[in-house]
């Protein structure tokens, strides 16, 4: 019994350590996207400052500000940017930070589609809280999944259902695997009391970036 308890404690500590390492390695590659209407997240996918987020995070906004995390004390840098392209049906957008003097930390894209039950790590800004972390797993995978937003906008894509507790403000932020590689973009939650989280798959991300 004592051996079992020690084994369980060891596994728990290992899981916590893994999450801490992924968070600390990834946090500077995750940005906060703010406007008067909403808050979301984005993830850097190149050292030149290419930035992936959801289209709905930047849709119908008057003034967008992008903040980058640069220290453990949550010191922020306001970054100038430009919008390169959008896919309004897949709910993806590609931006670029345009501070030419900066080499950005970025996250690698996974070339492996995660399996159901795989552990997942999410970073974002739920309800405006800054750079928060959550641990979960892939609950299910769907192809050509259709969802709609409150304004009636129809979206379709390859989607993961995830058990990370994401909220408004997580949209556009990264979903990471156990290696800290990007496997999805956290995108929306279901309605009702038992809210479920969903993320756009890395397959759709790769196809979008390749267009």
Nearest-5° Cα angle at 119, 115 to 120: 100
pTM of the model: 0.89
Interval 108-132: pLDDT, tens:
999 999 999 999 999 999 998 999 9
- Asked whether residue 8 carries a pLDDT value surpassing 90, the answer given is no
Instruction: Give the residue, 3 or 126, on which the prediction is more confident.
Output: 126
CA Rg value for the chain: 17
Q: How confident is the model at residue 85 (pLDDT cuts 50, 70, 90)?
A: very high
Residue-wise burial string across 107-132, b where 16 or more C-beta atoms lie within 10 A, e elsewhere = beebeeebeeebbbbbbbbbeeeebb
Instruction: Decide: 81 and 98 in contact? Cβ < 8 Å.
Output: yes
Is residue 84 classed as helix, strand or coil in its secondary structure? Answer: strand
| Strand stretches in the chain, DSSP E | 30-34, 39-44, 50-53, 65-69, 76-79, 81-87, 92-97, 119-124, 132-148, 154-162, 174-176, 182-189, 197-201
Predicted confidence (pLDDT) per residue in 97-107, tens digit: 998 788 899 99
| pLDDT tens digits along 15-30 | 456 899 999 999 999 9
- The pLDDT of residue 5 is above 90: no
Contact 175, 163 (CB under 8 A): no
In the block, tokens 């004592």 appear at: 2
Each residue's pLDDT tens digit, 27-81: 999 999 999 889 999 999 999 999 999 999 999 888 899 999 887 666 688 899 9
Q: What is the pLDDT of residues 136-181, one digit of tens each?
A: 999 999 999 999 998 889 999 999 999 999 999 999 999 999 999 9
CA 96 to chain centre: 17
pLDDT at 62: 81
């Amino acid at each position: 019994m004592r051996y079992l308890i020690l084994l369980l404690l060891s596994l728990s500590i290992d899981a916590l350590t893994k999450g801490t390492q992924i968070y600390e390695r990834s946090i500077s590659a995750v940005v906060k996207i703010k406007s008067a209407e909403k808050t979301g997240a984005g993830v850097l996918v190149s050292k030149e400052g290419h930035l992936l987020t959801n289209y709905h995070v930047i849709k119908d906004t008057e003034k967008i500000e992008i903040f980058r995390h640069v220290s453990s004390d949550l010191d922020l840098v306001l970054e100038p940017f430009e919008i390169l392209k959008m896919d309004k049906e897949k709910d993806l957008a590609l931006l670029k930070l345009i501070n030419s003097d900066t080499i950005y930390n970025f996250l690698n894209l996974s070339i492996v589609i995660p399996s159901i039950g795989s552990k997942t790590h999410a970073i974002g800004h739920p309800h405006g809280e800054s750079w928060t972390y959550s641990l979960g797993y892939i609950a299910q995978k769907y192809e050509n999944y259709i969802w709609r937003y409150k304004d009636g906008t129809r979206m379709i894509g390859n989607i993961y259902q995830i058990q990370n507790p994401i909220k408004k403000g997580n949209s556009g932020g990264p979903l990471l695997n156990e290696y800290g590689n990007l496997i999805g973009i956290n995108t929306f939650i279901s309605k009702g009391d038992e809210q479920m989280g969903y993320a756009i798959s890395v397959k759709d991300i790769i196809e979008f970036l390749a267009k």
